[in-house]
Structure 1
């Protein structure tokens, strides 16, 4: 579903109902609020929506990553603001040692783990974050730079599943500037995170490049539209790959999965690639973007071997992929590797 742009009457009952309509049937809502203008605006909008009708319970949550001395004060600030709005609030701490490299990625993983765990414990079905149109544009450019495929270039979805919890991003069609203006015009107080200006982080560097791209016509709105089109193409290709895999006599038994490998040679390469990826996932072997090149190499080698009637063994992501001379592909765990002295 495409992210809707902010309506002119966003603060009206109808505007808020349109914005949060997918949350009406939630068992409970966890709202992640850091204290910045985006998330503070989200909290205020949720509070107004809440009093306009019978709504699911809302719990505002701030994650203190323990990376800056100001973080504890900022979490306490959000707690006071939430209390003033009649919303419950919790502070979650990311405890333990922190990595020396990749700190933003590690913090993100820790944050979502903590939020999902709390959602399960609280009986909430939905997690809501304040990702914006600008965040979407930055995400697409960062993924493009990493060589991502269509799934990555589809960007963030309005709703996704995260460890059994629905992760909703109702502000994904809103520019950051609109939210900042809203906070200022309504007198909603917020804090500024100095890490948002730290060029050690890739996202900050991309953020500084975005005005230059926009000047050439590649603005956040056009990048978001590109992501929507990529998402449509990605979903269509996934569906065709699933149909091809199901039609290839897919069998799952004894911890192994098998299917007729002819589809890897007869289908277009993109469908063959996705069918192989889906088979690996169904067999319990997850793939991330860093293995996309390896997946492409495996699919191409299997296609050639199927066409030549040859047997082939490959390993990827902890899986052993075996093709026999009859054209049957089977997938199971990679055997332990023998290590020399």
Structure 2
């Protein structure tokens, strides 16, 4: 058995999974994302231990990236069958990207799982992300220079298209799930990609044992994520109220007009979130990814100083034109079509 780690007790299993698949949960049931590794195998096995109350479907996404992936999906199907759970294998078809492979695979995985949830009428997708996964995520985002939203890591539950994506094991060390599989003889596999240094997450995984003696343990990184999430939630709430209060008539078709004096009075963190929310609202389905560094540079370094001086300034961010006007108003409008010689940010 995994050294020093306790298997999950039945009461712990019920406390974590019953809110999603127990008698009081949504009658729509759940999709369990199971790759065949120890974490997700523990999720599947623990779900099978609960008294049947809500429909559960086990899903394995075969990304087709390794020769053994199809056999591993078949192995999950056999274990699921032995546990009395229905299983579906979801294939990621088509050519695979040469860059950002893991990110593309993750996006494809969630799209396939959400489509299956819609097909079977499930209201939630459960994944087996652990405290170790959370620590790696926070470390990766710390290295990337993320703000509170990024350092908040993975949410215990969040909307995913028209279902909920939930992570009931997010505060548990991986070792406890491995110990649970070993104690109950649930067979699992290990993905060799987890140790490939070409992937950023694998590199972070190898760093964590070196950082732990200095105090940067998975538990502390998990607490950092929880604190950052509380901070981000507070900023989001304040920004939502501020955006409603600052809106004025006259933004034009598809645009927004904000009171510049009120915008200047906001704390910088709230002003950044107000701007990001306003940009997303104006851009709509045309929204482009917006890096925090660009938002900080444009809003804090250019737009807010121009408003304070009563100067006119125009900048384009995320497909939206931001205009500091001499009358003290901040206008956001869809980015005009670019003609010859016109560049973004002009």
Query: Aligned pair 1:80/2:71, yes or no?
Result: no
2:156 is aligned to: 158
Query: Aligned pair 1:242/2:240, yes or no?
Result: yes
Maintained 8 Å contact 1:264/1:299:
no
> Superposed, which structure 2 residues align to 1:297-336 within 5 Å?
297-300=297-300, 301-336=302-337
2:231 is aligned to: 233
1:192-229 Cα distance to aligned partner (Å, 9 max, x none) = 11111111111111101100111111110111011111
1:17 is aligned to: 14
- Residue 249 of structure 1 deviates from its aligned partner by 2.8
What is the DSSP-based 3-state SS (H/G/I as helix, E as strand, rest coil) of the residue aligned with 2:14? helix
- Residue 286 of structure 1 deviates from its aligned partner by 4.2
Seen in structure 2, the aligned counterparts of structure 1 residues 164 and 258 have a Cα distance that, compared at 3 Å, is farther
Number of aligned positions between the proteins = 329
2:191 is aligned to: 193
Instruction: Find the aligned partners of 2:337 and 2:252 in 1 and give their Cα distance.
Output: 21
2:125 is aligned to: 127
- Residue 79 of structure 1 deviates from its aligned partner by 0.7
What is the DSSP-based 3-state SS (H/G/I as helix, E as strand, rest coil) of the residue aligned with 1:338? coil
What is the DSSP-based 3-state SS (H/G/I as helix, E as strand, rest coil) of the residue aligned with 1:314? strand
Instruction: Find the aligned partners of 1:198 and 1:248 in 2 and give their Cα distance.
Output: 49
2:145 is aligned to: 147
Instruction: Find the aligned partners of 1:336 and 1:48 in 2 and give their Cα distance.
Output: 58
1:8-62 Cα distance to aligned partner (Å, 9 max, x none) = 78332x322211243142312010000000100000001112xx25x22111000
What is the DSSP-based 3-state SS (H/G/I as helix, E as strand, rest coil) of the residue aligned with 1:209? helix
With structure 2 as the length reference, what TM-score do the two structures score? 0.90
Maintained 8 Å contact 1:241/1:274:
yes
1:149-198 Cα distance to aligned partner (Å, 9 max, x none) = 10010111110111122110001011111111111111110111111111
Seen in structure 2, the aligned counterparts of structure 1 residues 339 and 287 have a Cα distance that, compared at 3 Å, is closer
2:174 is aligned to: 176
Instruction: Find the aligned partners of 2:299 and 2:61 in 1 and give their Cα distance.
Output: 41
Maintained 8 Å contact 1:136/1:156:
yes
Maintained 8 Å contact 2:7/2:179:
no
Moved more, 246-255 or 20-29: 246-255
Instruction: Find the aligned partners of 2:231 and 2:276 in 1 and give their Cα distance.
Output: 17
Residue 105 of structure 2 is aligned with which of 83, 104, 107? 107
Instruction: Find the aligned partners of 1:160 and 1:9 in 2 and give their Cα distance.
Output: 27
What is the DSSP-based 3-state SS (H/G/I as helix, E as strand, rest coil) of the residue aligned with 2:291? helix
2:33 is aligned to: 32
- Residue 123 of structure 1 deviates from its aligned partner by 1.4
1:269 is aligned to: 268
Instruction: Find the aligned partners of 2:86 and 2:291 in 1 and give their Cα distance.
Output: 42
Moved more, 68-77 or 254-263: 254-263
Maintained 8 Å contact 1:133/1:173:
yes
Query: Aligned pair 1:116/2:114, yes or no?
Result: yes
Maintained 8 Å contact 1:286/1:317:
yes
Instruction: Find the aligned partners of 2:123 and 2:252 in 1 and give their Cα distance.
Output: 32
1:260 is aligned to: 259
Maintained 8 Å contact 2:29/2:123:
yes
Maintained 8 Å contact 2:131/2:172:
yes
Moved more, 20-29 or 237-246: 20-29
1:292 is aligned to: 292
Seen in structure 2, the aligned counterparts of structure 1 residues 192 and 150 have a Cα distance that, compared at 3 Å, is same
Maintained 8 Å contact 1:128/1:170:
yes
RMSD: 1.8
Runs of 4+ in structure 1 deviating by more than 3 angstroms, as ranges, are 7-11, 250-254, 285-288
With structure 1 as the length reference, what TM-score do the two structures score? 0.92
Instruction: Find the aligned partners of 2:287 and 2:134 in 1 and give their Cα distance.
Output: 24
Instruction: Find the aligned partners of 2:110 and 2:273 in 1 and give their Cα distance.
Output: 27
